């Protein structure tokens, strides 16, 4: 699972999307996006640090952890 902001055609405002698999992205409500980010923690996938959420014992990466 990946999520992030994307520019929408027309007004150019950013909109939150979540990748659901097999070339399918779903636009989600901004409040849901912020809630996911609020629940997120730093984890590790394939030995690399990333940001994501846990659900039923499975870690779902949201994005890369920015190098500081």
- Positions in the chain short of pLDDT 50: 68
pTM of the prediction?
0.64
pLDDT at res. 68: 47
47: tokens are 């030995």
Q: Give 12-62 as a DSSP string.
A: --EEEEEEEETTEEEE--HHHHHHHHHH-EEEEETTEEEEEEEETTEEEEE
Total domains in the fold of the chain: 1
Residue numbers of the domain that contains 26? 2-64
pLDDT at res. 9: 64
């Amino acid at each position: 699972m990946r999520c992030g902001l994307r520019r929408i055609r027309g007004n150019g405002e950013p909109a939150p999307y979540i990748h659901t698999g097999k070339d399918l992205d779903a636009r989600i409500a901004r409040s849901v996006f912020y809630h996911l980010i609020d629940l997120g923690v730093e984890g590790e996938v394939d030995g690399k640090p990333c940001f994501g959420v846990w659900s039923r014992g499975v870690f779902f990466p949201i994005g890369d952890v920015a190098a500081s």
